[in-house]
Amino acid sequence: MAVDREKFQKLLKEKGLKMTRQRLVVLEVLAENPEQHLTAEDIYERVKVENPDIGLATVYRTVQLLLELELIDRINLDDGFIRYEIGSLDEEEHHRYHHLICLRCGKVSAFQDDMLEALETGVKQALGFQVVDHEVKLYGYCKDCLEKEHK
């Protein structure tokens, strides 16, 4: 997935910010690794390959920026790291991704489901709470680990 530089620059300009090599490279790494749940350190390692001078602090500052621009999503798997992934380009699908976390091997996979929309409507009517985003994590055992266990 390629980064649209013009669109990126336009988004930055709207906030009085500048397009830099570092920001572009961080965004590109995330765009090239969709659904990969990268930590700041992961991004740093990959960015350094073609950009050895970049600092880890810049990666942290950039992911914060990309979050504010809503270009990426934040994922917290409760393992002490905050992870990031490129947001879905399709607005309709953007909030329908959930995560499956294997308690044995730690593998994380995503699946899509829109059943929560009904739940959100119900919460609004019953409690007056207006939902704008959600996060669903399902913990359990993945197919591979289940099969290994049965041997």
Partner DNA sequence: ATGCTTGCAAAAGGTTTGCATGTAG
Partner DNA sequence: CTACATGCAAACCTTTTGCAAGCAT
| Annotation: binding site for Fe cation | 94, 117, 134
Rounded Cα distance between 43 and 61, Å, is 12
In the bound state with its own copies, the residue whose beta carbon lies nearer, of 45 and 120, is 120
**Span from 27-35, 50-58, 96-104, 119-127 in contact with DNA (CB under 7 A):** 50-58
Angle of the 21-32 helix axis to the 40-50 helix axis, nearest 10: 110
Work out how close the CB of 116 gets to DNA at its nearest, in angstroms, rounded to a whole number: 26
Q: Which of 7, 13, 137, 148 binds its own copies (CB under 8 A)?
A: 137
Question: Rg of the chain's alpha carbons, rounded to an integer?
Answer: 18
Per CB under 7 A, 64 contacts DNA: yes
Residues of this chain, 82-121, that bind DNA according to CB under 7 A: 82
Q: With binding defined as CB under 7 A, does residue 18 bind DNA?
A: yes
Q: Is 36 in the site for DNA (CB under 7 A)?
A: no
For residues 58 and 29, the answer to whether their CB atoms sit within 8 Å is no
Distances (CA, A) of 117 to 95, 102, 144: 10, 25, 31
Q: CA triplet 91, 92, 95: central angle to 5 degrees?
A: 85
**55 binding partner (options DNA, its own copies, none; Cβ < 5 to 8 Å by kind):** DNA
At its nearest, how many Å lie between its own copies and the CB of residue 128?
Answer: 3
